Amino acid sequence: LLLLAVLAACSKPPQAEADAAKAALDVAVQNPDVAAYASDELQAARDRLARLQAELDAQEAKGALSRKYDTAKNMALEAQAAAESLAAQAVTAKEQTKAEAMTLLNDLRITVPEAEQGLAQARRVSGVRLDFRSLAASLAQAKAEVAAAENAYNNGDYVTARATAAAVKGSL
* pLDDT tens, residue by residue, 31-81: 999 999 999 999 999 999 999 999 999 999 998 888 899 999 999 999 999
* Candidate from 12-26, 32-46, 127-141, 143-157 with smallest mean pLDDT: 127-141
Mean pLDDT, range 84-89, rounded to an integer: 96
pLDDT cut 70: percent of the chain above it: 94
**Res 66: pLDDT:** 86
Mean pLDDT, range 123-130, rounded to an integer: 81
Q: What CA–CA distance (Å, rounded) separates 146 from 155?
A: 14
Distances, alpha carbon 6 to alpha carbons 10, 12, 57, in Å: 6, 10, 21
- Confidence band (pLDDT; 50, 70, 90) for 8? low
**Average pLDDT score, the chain:** 91
Judge if pTM exceeds 0.85. Answer: no
- Checking if the pLDDT of 112 tops 60, the result is yes
- Checking if the pLDDT of 102 tops 70, the result is yes
**Res 9: pLDDT:** 53
